[in-house]
Amino acid sequence: MAEPGSSGTQSLDRAVQLTSMVVQADSPVSFADLQEATGLAKSTTSRLLAALERGDLVERQPNGGYVAGSLFWLYAARHDPWDHLVRVARPAMERIGRDTQESVHLSVLRGNRVVQVAQVDSHYLLGTRDWTQVDVPAHASSLGKVFVAWGALALPEQRLERLATHTLVTPAALARDGAAARRRGFAVTVDELEEGLTGVAVPVRGVRDDVIAALGISGPTSRLDGRIDELGRNLISRASEIAAVLHGPTRLTKEGVA
């Protein structure tokens, strides 16, 4: 890239490039990585990053890495943060529905509550229900268990409510269940929320590799029995597709732009 004497438009383009790399990266990005990926001189990179910091578009952390600035978080706070997630996830959810014929769910955390934000209905009459308005305790649903197992939701400290025959009611039991979920890659409930209902769910990871949602399937235990591993693998694959779209086409790594 040309150096001194570049036009204001060129400077703006370079600032946009730096901002895009920081926002789309999975973790804080070092000055050296940004300079290497853009090919800019150190002085130009430093000058542009300083201007972006002053405008709250990027923020430098104590370890020197750069992350998205407060303006991005302010914008997100003023708009429904889940609209984009639902739009991105919808095609994958519909594919899961076609593959499995079962109800497909997408849930997020709002405080300590697990809230369903999207659903694709089952192709069967038995198992079709709108769960978006139902308040389901996290310990009794596969979607809620995802947030507990992957550390997005803290383990409870007290004994839990028993809702069905196999509901896990102690923190220790939920911790063991979470460890098993992490090993296989998906959480499972069988007759834990209500008799005859089975659920399978996996984490959906955001741009910083944190768990931002849970993607799951539910249906009658009699119909899902013997299919749990197959359903879990399907969900893991589709959750990866959603994450790839959320991460965007450009993901900065230590080697540069992938």
Q: Identify the CATH number of the domain in which residue 170 sits.
A: 3.30.450.40
Q: Which of 110, 170, 168, 121 is nearest to 142 (CA)?
A: 168
pLDDT at 248: 67
Q: Give the Cα separation of 30 and 177 in Å (integer).
A: 38
Considering the domain architecture, whether residues 37 and 149 belong to the same structural domain is answered as no
On average, the pLDDT of the chain sits at: 86
Q: Give the Cα separation of 108 and 117 in Å (integer).
A: 7
Phi-psi region of 5 (alpha: psi -120 to 50; beta: other; left: phi over 0): left
**What are the distances in angstroms from CA 112 to CA 24, 108, 136?**
27, 10, 12
Count: domains in the chain: 2
Considering the domain architecture, whether residues 113 and 31 belong to the same structural domain is answered as no
Considering the domain architecture, whether residues 179 and 95 belong to the same structural domain is answered as yes
> What is the percent of the chain where pLDDT is above 90?
62
Q: Beta strand 66-68 with 197-205: parallel, antiparallel or unpaired?
A: unpaired
Considering the domain architecture, whether residues 153 and 237 belong to the same structural domain is answered as yes
pLDDT at 171: 95
Looking up tokens 């949602």 gives 213
Considering the domain architecture, whether residues 147 and 242 belong to the same structural domain is answered as yes
Q: Give the Cα separation of 48 and 80 in Å (integer).
A: 31
Q: Beta strand 197-205 with 187-190: parallel, antiparallel or unpaired?
A: antiparallel
Q: pLDDT band for 113, please (50, 70, 90 cuts).
A: confident
**Type of residue found at 113:** R
Considering the domain architecture, whether residues 112 and 196 belong to the same structural domain is answered as yes
For the beta carbon of residue 161, count every other beta carbon within 10 angstroms. 9
Considering the domain architecture, whether residues 73 and 96 belong to the same structural domain is answered as no
Considering the domain architecture, whether residues 165 and 188 belong to the same structural domain is answered as yes
Q: Give the Cα separation of 195 and 251 in Å (integer).
A: 44
Domain with 51, as residue range(s), is 8-77
**Type of residue found at 20:** S
- Checking if the pLDDT of 58 tops 60, the result is yes
Considering the domain architecture, whether residues 233 and 137 belong to the same structural domain is answered as yes
Considering the domain architecture, whether residues 173 and 155 belong to the same structural domain is answered as yes
Q: Which of 108, 102, 23 is nearest to 57 (CA)?
A: 23
Q: Which of 104, 49, 90, 54 is nearest to 216 (CA)?
A: 104
Q: Give the Cα separation of 182 and 199 in Å (integer).
A: 16
Q: pLDDT band for 3, please (50, 70, 90 cuts).
A: very low
Phi-psi region of 106 (alpha: psi -120 to 50; beta: other; left: phi over 0): beta
Are residues 200 and 232 in contact, defined by beta-carbon separation less than 8 angstroms? yes
Q: How many angstroms from the chain centroid is the CA of residue 139?
A: 19
Are residues 147 and 113 in contact, defined by beta-carbon separation less than 8 angstroms? no
CA angle 235, 111, 176 (to 5 degrees): 55
CATH of the domain at 36: 1.10.10.10
Map residue 137 onto helix, strand or coil: coil
Most confident range (mean pLDDT) of 69-73, 116-120, 254-258 is 116-120
Query: Mean of the pLDDT values across residues 143-164?
Result: 94
Considering the domain architecture, whether residues 127 and 72 belong to the same structural domain is answered as no
Q: Is residue 119 part of a domain?
A: yes
Considering the domain architecture, whether residues 136 and 22 belong to the same structural domain is answered as no
